Amino acid sequence: MTDSPAPLVAVIVVAAGSGTRLGHELPKAFVPLSGRTLLERSLDSVFGMRDASQVIVVAPEDRLDEARAIATERAGAAGGYLDVVPGGNSRQASVERGLAVLRPDVDTVLVHDAARALTPSTLCDAVVAAVRASGAGVVPGLDLVDSIKRVDPRGTVLAGVDRRELSAVQTPQGFPRRMLVAAFAAATEELTDDAALVTAAGFPVSIIPGDPLAFKITTPWDLRRAELLLATPADPAGSPRVGTGLDVHAFDDTSELWLAGLHWPGERGLAGHSDGDAAVHAICDALLAAAGLGDVGGVFGTADAALADAHGEVFLRETLRRVGDAGFRVGNVSVQVIGNRPRLAPRRAESEARLSSILGAPVSVSATTTDGLGFTGRGEGIAAIATALLVPAEARGPVLSWEA
C-alpha cells in the first residue's frame, strides 16, 4: 500500500471469531459465500468507501498470513494503510487489539463485523458523515417489525415491549476516536457491541437508518439468505438476456481474409492469433456477455496453440456449448461490420446462412463505412459490433403431472 496524505478514518474489521453458530469447519470470515469469502466481501465494502485511510483487519491468530494476503488483494489500488492483527477471545478483545494499532492521525474510527458481508459501502460512508456532523457515536439501526415480548427463563411471557422504543443495530459503528478509546479503557464488563461500551462510558450515541443488506451472517440460514441474494442463475423460467460485443483487427497483407464466417479470396487479410474474423469474435463476445460468462479473451485466451489460425466456427461452436451449459439457447444475433472493404452486400445472404446454421438461430449481417473517418475510414483495419439475444433453454414441464 502507498503512503497517502494524513489518514483520518480508520475501519477495524473484526474477523477473528470462530462462527460457532454457523457450524462450518472454517472460521466464519473464511467461509465462502458464492465464490468469495465473507472477509473478502466485507473488505470490498470497506475499500469501496469514499475515505477509509487505515484498514485494520483483526483475524484469527493462526490465519494472519491468509488474512493479510486477502486484504492486500482486495485493497488493490485503494491506497491507504493496511494492518492485520491477531484477535482476542471475545469480540470486545478483538476490537481492543485493533484499537492498539490506530495510526496517530486517525480521528474517526469505524468498527465493522466481517460477518456483515453484504454491507453496502454507502452505509459506511453515511456512518462516517454522521460521526463528523454530530461529533458523537453513530450506529446504523433498523426498526423492528415483530412484536417483542419479555419472557422468563421458562418461556412465560411477562410483558410486551413497545417496539417503537427499540432499534436492531448493525455495524459499522462509528465514533470519534477519543470516545471509543476512553470507553474501552473504562470497560468493566463484556458487552456485545461498541455502542454499548461508549454509552456505558457516558458518551452520546445516535442511530441512523441501517440497511437490510448489512444483516449479520450468524446461522446457516443467514448464509443461505446471502447466497440467494447474490444468485444470478440462468433461471429456466427467467427472462431473455441481451449482450453486446465489439472486436477490431488490423489489416495484415500476409494473411487471407476470413470475415463473417466466409473466406474472401483476393481481399486483404486481418491480423490476429486466430483467423482474425472480427465479426465472429464480436458475436462470441455478445453471446458470452448475455450469458454472464465473461468475454472471448477470458474464455479462449491468446496462449492456446490449438486456436492459432482457428476459424470462426471453432469459436462459435465452443461459445454455443458454454451458453447452452449455462441454460440458454440463442434467440437471434445481429452483427455489423465497419470498414471500407470487403463489400459485404454481395455475400450477405451467404454469410447469414453460414452463421445461422452454426448457431441454430437467425443471424443478421450488415455493414457500414465511417465516411472516411477513423481507423476504419483510413483503411487500417475492420471493426465489428454484435448484439445477441439469449432465451432460457426450454422450460421444463410442470413439476406435477397426472398420469393415467
Annotated binding site: 247-249, 273-274, 281, 368-371, 375, 378
User: Residues 390, 323: contact at Cβ < 8 Å?
Assistant: yes
Binding site for ligand CTP (CB under 6 A): 14-22, 28-29, 58, 87-91, 94, 113-115, 216, 218
Could you tell me the CA-to-CA distances from 278 to 47, 62, 336, 367, 368 in Å, in that order?
38, 51, 10, 12, 14
Kindly tell me the sign of the dihedral angle through the C-alpha atoms of 321, 318, 357, 338.
positive
Q: Which does 385 bind (CB under 5 to 8 A by kind): Mg ion, ligand CTP, none?
A: none
Shorter beta-carbon distance to ligand CTP: residue 27 or 312: 27
Cell of 52: 477509509
**Residue nearest ligand CTP by beta-carbon distance:** 17
Q: CB under 5 A: which stretch of 16-24, 69-77, 147-155, 331-339 binds Mg ion?
A: 16-24
Q: CB under 5 A: which stretch of 15-23, 274-282, 294-302, 358-366 binds Mg ion?
A: 15-23
Q: How far is the CB of 112 from ligand CTP (least distance, A)?
A: 8
Shorter beta-carbon distance to ligand CTP: residue 22 or 52: 22
Q: How far is the CB of 69 from Mg ion (least distance, A)?
A: 25
Q: How far is the CB of 27 from ligand CTP (least distance, A)?
A: 7
Determine the 3-state secondary structure of 398 from DSSP.
Answer: coil
Q: CB under 5 A: which stretch of 11-19, 172-180, 206-214, 392-400 binds Mg ion?
A: 11-19
Q: At which residue does the C-alpha cell 453496502 appear?
A: 120
Q: How far is the CB of 116 from ligand CTP (least distance, A)?
A: 7
Distance CA 18, CA 93 (A): 14
**Residue nearest Mg ion by beta-carbon distance:** 17
Shorter beta-carbon distance to ligand CTP: residue 214 or 283: 214
Q: Which does 90 bind (CB under 5 to 8 A by kind): Mg ion, ligand CTP, none?
A: ligand CTP
Cell of 167: 432499534
Max CA distance (Å), the chain: 92
Shorter beta-carbon distance to ligand CTP: residue 21 or 317: 21
Distance CA 279, CA 276 (A): 9
What is the number of residues in the chain? 404
Q: Which does 43 bind (CB under 5 to 8 A by kind): Mg ion, ligand CTP, none?
A: none
Q: 309 in the Ramachandran plot: left (φ > 0), alpha (ψ -120 to 50) or beta?
A: left
**∠ Cα 132 134 136 (to 5°):** 90
State the CB neighbour count (10 A cutoff) for residue 390: 28
Q: Which does 83 bind (CB under 5 to 8 A by kind): ligand CTP, Mg ion, none?
A: none
Q: At which residue does the C-alpha cell 470497506 appear?
A: 46
**In this structure, which amino acid lies at residue 201?**
A
Shorter beta-carbon distance to Mg ion: residue 190 or 325: 190
Q: Which does 16 bind (CB under 5 to 8 A by kind): Mg ion, ligand CTP, none?
A: ligand CTP
Shorter beta-carbon distance to ligand CTP: residue 95 or 296: 95
304 Cα distance to chain centroid: 28
Q: Which does 335 bind (CB under 5 to 8 A by kind): ligand CTP, Mg ion, none?
A: none
Cell of 234: 440462468
User: Residues 243, 377: contact at Cβ < 8 Å?
Assistant: no
Annotated binding site for a divalent metal cation: 247, 249, 281
Which spans of this chain sit near Mg ion (rule: CB under 5 A)? 17
